[in-house]
Amino acid sequence: MRVFETPEAVSVAARDLFVTKARAAIAARKRFDVVLAGGRTPEAVYKLLVASDLEWKRIHVWFGDERCVPPVHVDSNFHMAAEALLTKVSIPAGNVHRMHGELEAYRSAEAYENEMKREFKLDDGEWPRFDLVLLGMGPDGHTASLFPDTTALEDDQQLCCATWVEKLKAYRITLTYPVLNQAAHVLFLACGADKATALKLATADEVDHKTPPAGRVRPNAGELEWFIDRALAAASGRG
């Protein structure tokens, strides 16, 4: 866990890590696969990335979750990423793998799973390995669209699933734990004192019935980092 004075400093550090991981993956295997998150802090990261000198033609962008809205809707994670970054860099259209939130939720999840299987050339029972997964966390401890008390938390078969979120009275589409936990590097970005309780529970040594969804993201053979701001650190006793 790394503590930064401000949310802006969190975003700068995340931008730097993104660039470092991208360059390393491209040097090693000519390709970088990254999962983007929604939210204000990730949006700030994307805006900073516009000026980065990266080989965008070798970068493939994926999404951790999506709302069931069209891609031009203000609530769409894809729309936010497109406005902040993707329309401002020279990334090929075929390298942007969006979740089709305009489709029925279960159809969209199935289509995204099939796209991952094709792109990563997966056999049944295999999982994609992303180079970097960016995640946020809500005050309730949710991450991606893995919300407390939802069926998605127990899905260990699908790569991507549709899940009904009762508190939102809406369906969401999300990557599942087996996919997130197969990543080479997972970076959580969390700012604000209102997330203190969730952070303490999510970063406890043991996973138990009190562990919020974010705390169950623990890569099997990869790195896990948290970048948080001073306000959250102080409220949670983390620094």
> Pick from 182, 63, 186, 96: which is nearest to 133 by CA?
186
Q: What distance in Å separates the CA atoms of residue 154 and residue 162, rounded to the nearest whole number? A: 12
State what percent of residues in the chain have pLDDT above 90. Answer: 99
> Pick from 58, 44, 116: which is nearest to 91 by CA?
58
pTM of the shown model:
0.97
Is residue 238's pLDDT more than 90?
A: no
The pLDDT score that the predictor gives to residue 183 is 98
The pLDDT score that the predictor gives to residue 114 is 98
Q: What distance in Å separates the CA atoms of residue 215 and residue 237, rounded to the nearest whole number? A: 17
| Residue 54 host element (H or E) | none
Q: Which residues pair with 160 in a beta bridge?
A: 175
The pLDDT score that the predictor gives to residue 235 is 97
Is residue 30's pLDDT more than 80?
A: yes
31-44 per-position pLDDT tens digit: 999 999 999 999 99
* Contact in structure between 82 and 114 (CB atoms under 8 Å): no
Is residue 59's pLDDT more than 80?
A: yes
Q: Tokens for 139, please give them.
A: 């005050």
147-200 per-position pLDDT tens digit: 999 999 999 999 999 999 999 999 999 999 999 999 999 999 999 999 999 999
The pLDDT score that the predictor gives to residue 217 is 98
The pLDDT score that the predictor gives to residue 161 is 98
Q: What is the three-class DSSP state of 79?
A: helix
Mean pLDDT of 84-92: 98
Looking up tokens 């400093």 gives 9
98-125 per-position pLDDT tens digit: 999 999 999 999 999 999 999 999 999 9
The pLDDT score that the predictor gives to residue 145 is 98
The pLDDT score that the predictor gives to residue 25 is 98
Looking up tokens 């979740």 gives 99
Is residue 214's pLDDT more than 90?
A: yes
Q: Tokens for 199, please give them.
A: 């952070």
Backbone CA torsion sign across 180, 156, 129, 84: negative
* Contact in structure between 104 and 159 (CB atoms under 8 Å): no
Q: Tokens for 155, please give them.
A: 């899905």
The pLDDT score that the predictor gives to residue 128 is 98
The pLDDT score that the predictor gives to residue 147 is 98
Is residue 239's pLDDT more than 90?
A: no
Domain ranges within the chain, ordered by starting residue:
2-236
User: What's CA 189's distance to the chain center, in Å?
Assistant: 10
Domain 2-236 grouped into CATH 3.40.50.1360: yes
The residues, any chain, with a CB within 8 Å of residue 185's CB and separated by 6 or more, are 21, 131, 132, 133, 219, 222, 223, 224, 225
For β-strands 65-67 and 170-175, DSSP reports them as antiparallel
The pLDDT score that the predictor gives to residue 210 is 94
